[in-house]
Amino acid sequence: MKIVGIVGSSADFSYNRLLLQFIGRHFGADFDFNLAEIKDLPMFNQDDDQTNSAPVQELVQVIEEADGVIIATPEHNHTINASLKSALEWLSYKIHPLDGKPVMIIGASYFTQGSSRAQLHLRQILDAPGVNALAFPGNEFLLGNVKEAFDDHGDLKDPKTISFLGTCLQKFQRFIKMTEFLNQPEAEVLPPEDLKATGTIDTTIQGVDKSAPDWVEQAAEVAHAVDGKTYVRLNRGILTVDQLNYFLASMPMELTFADSNNQFLYYNQQPDTGEKMLASRNPTQPGNPLINCHPERARKNVEWVIQQLRHGKQDVIRMHVPTHGPDKFVVHNYQALHDETGAYKGLNEYVLDIQPIIDWYLQQTGQKLVGDVDAVSGASEKSGPAKPAVDGVSGASEKAAAPAKPAVDGVSGASEKH
Following CA atoms 65, 69, 168, 151 in sequence, which dihedral angle do they give, to the nearest 10 degrees?
100
Which is closer to other proteins, CB of 83 or CB of 261?
A: 83
Q: How many CA atoms lie within 13 A of 390 on its CB side?
A: 30
C-alpha span between 162 and 73 (Å, rounded): 18
Does 348 participate in binding other proteins (rule CB under 8 A)? no
Of 2, 11, 155, 194, the one binding other proteins by CB under 8 A: 11
The angle at the Cα of 177, spanning 176 to 181, to the nearest 5 degrees, equals 110
Closest contact distance (angstroms) between CB of 83 and other proteins is: 5
Does 75 participate in binding other proteins (rule CB under 8 A)? yes
3-class SS at 219?
Answer: helix
Closest contact distance (angstroms) between CB of 16 and other proteins is: 12
Stretch that binds other proteins, among 44-52, 209-217, 279-287, 358-366 (CB under 8 A): 44-52
β-strand pairing of 344-353 with 254-259: antiparallel
Does 73 participate in binding other proteins (rule CB under 8 A)? no
Does 148 participate in binding other proteins (rule CB under 8 A)? no
The answer to whether 128 and 94 have CB atoms below 8 angstroms apart is: no
C-alpha span between 17 and 71 (Å, rounded): 10
Which is closer to other proteins, CB of 86 or CB of 139?
A: 86
C-alpha span between 260 and 332 (Å, rounded): 19
Closest contact distance (angstroms) between CB of 111 and other proteins is: 6
The answer to whether 215 and 293 have CB atoms below 8 angstroms apart is: no
Continuous H helices in 7-93: 15-26, 54-65, 82-93
Closest contact distance (angstroms) between CB of 35 and other proteins is: 18
Of 3, 59, 68, 83, the one binding other proteins by CB under 8 A: 83
Which is closer to other proteins, CB of 115 or CB of 256?
A: 115
Does 77 participate in binding other proteins (rule CB under 8 A)? yes
Q: Could you tell me the CA-to-CA distances from 333 to 262, 321, 353, 376 in Å, in that order? A: 17, 11, 11, 16
Which is closer to other proteins, CB of 60 or CB of 400?
A: 60
Which is closer to other proteins, CB of 37 or CB of 303?
A: 37
Of 2, 10, 35, 284, the one binding other proteins by CB under 8 A: 10
Contacts of other proteins in 107-146 (CB under 8 A): 109-111, 117, 121, 124-125, 127-128, 130-131
Contact residues: other proteins, CB under 8 A: 9-12, 39, 42-47, 74-83, 85-86, 88-89, 92, 109-111, 117, 121, 124-125, 127-128, 130-131
